[in-house]
Chains A and B, each alone.
Chain A
Amino acid sequence: MLKFFGIFLVFISVCVYGNMKALKIKEKLRQQDGFLSFLKYVRICVSTNGTPLCDIYRSFNNDTLQKSGFIGALTVTDSTDGIRYALERCKKSVLLDKADVDALCEFASAIQTARSRDEGEKLCDKYIGILELNFCSKREENEKKAELYKKLSVLVALSSALLLL
């Protein structure tokens, strides 16, 4: 009886581990979409009425980024370099690659000194382009990885169970 219970436990743990990995990858993809929509929102606010960054940050909302704590950190700071500060504070919960985080920090510094709305708009376009390229190139791969983790975890769990039996 105890043996079967042990085998069941191993089976469940391996399945859960695989699914957790897959969920993390899916969350990362959702965050990527969230950051892209954030930059697009900044672009709209800058180009239409030249809204100051702190007001843009306060008015932006996105469930995924809210969950990661990024929006909370962004709105709580008085720092003019809000994006960098928020990314620093949510290091663990923001699942972006280092290159993407660096691009966002670079954007945060550059947008502050944009002289005019046109310049700000161009900067937004530039960094939206960079991030879209980064995200798109890995998106398919990440989606496949998530599926693979799920299937593989079930397979490994079954094999381990059979072996133990």
Chain B
Amino acid sequence: MKDQVGRIIPYLPARLARAVESSSFSKCFDEINELRLRAGKPTTVTADGKNLFLSENGGLWERSTRPLVLTADELRECVTRLCGGSVYSYYDSIKNGYITKENFRVGITGKGIVTNGHPDGFSQYTSINIRIPAFFKNSANDLLSYIARYGTENTGGILVISPPGVGKTTLLRSLAYSLSKGYTDGGRFCIKRVCIIDEREEIYSAEFFSDTICDVISSLPKGFCIELCTRVMSPEIIVCDEIGNYDEAERIKNAASKGVLFVASCHGKDVYDVIKKPFIRELFDIGVFSTACVIGFSNGARVCSIKRADEMSHA
């Protein structure tokens, strides 16, 4: 994680970079999940689910005492740096409210522009949320033990569920790594042809996956990628983030009918919350997903609870 925070420093406005580089801040590198920059408002840090105020000298405080307040120009400078001095080349992703830089997913909000009735980016940036990716190879241990015990034939497709910022992507990344590097499947050693659909370039990192046999399609719409990779890469497992609409669910259904197993994620508090979305419910009903893995916090620690579809059929 230390390396990850260090990698973002060159893209930050000078005052924030100084605060992040300071010794008091660097002590907390390991716990940091997000850096939140706001124009004319305090800069905060999300560390283990807590919101902390960042001061000019790099101190982190639970209360807002002399916080670091950035200007709109500093936010613009940060966006320009994140775009490598070529904002136009990130036009499509900025239009959708994010930039991906070296696996950092940076969310952007501000005063929007509408052209011909469609959102067309921002004329002014008011908030930037830099999410620090966690490259842990053992985040999916609970799920891997489950697979080792029951085998993928019995677990079927897996849907990872959690509210935003709890660790869905970290778990997916770690699971994709293990499945394509070698794991125990119902007592047997297995390596699967995994294809990662990485629409926003936040799951895959060439460095992290260097010793695996996984393939990746990135920066293209998820639905299109699912169809494409099923056709041309003949994957055994497809890993993708955040199923969000009917079209994506439909493409997943089609690919699953050809024998591809899916590991995907969805925003929600628990299983009962996500199956309120008809397209997710349908994916469970027809057996695309047979296992749900819910991530949450219990007594300050991250916990992962795994449920089979038949266990939740009463919902």
Contact = CB atoms under 8 A, between A and B. Distances in A.
A46 to B, nearest CB: 6
A151 interface: no
Contacts, number: 51
Contacts of B85: 52-54, 79-82, 112
A51 interface: yes
A19 B91 CA distance: 51
Interface stretch (B76-84, B144-152, B168-176): B76-84
Interface residues of A, number: 19
B189 interface: no
Interface in A104-140: 111-117, 119-120
Please report whether the interface of chain B is mostly helix, strand, loop or mixed according to DSSP.
Answer: helix
Indicate the size class of the contact surface on chain B.
Answer: 10 to 19
A115 B84 contact: no
A97 to B, nearest CB: 26
B86 A52 contact: yes
B76 A53 contact: no
Contacts of A53: 84-86, 89
Contact of A114 (B76, B81, B88): B88
A80 B101 CA distance: 15
A154 B121 CA distance: 63
A50 B91 contact: yes
Q: Which 4 A-B pairs have the closest CB atoms?
A: A80-B85, A52-B86, A120-B88, A112-B85
A119 B80 contact: no
Given A50-B89, A53-B84, A54-B84, 4 more contacts: A51-B86, A112-B80, A115-B87, A116-B121
A113 B84 contact: no
Interface in B71-116: 76, 80-81, 83-89, 91, 94
A114 B88 CA distance: 6
Contacts of A116: 88, 91, 120-121
Contacts of B76: 113
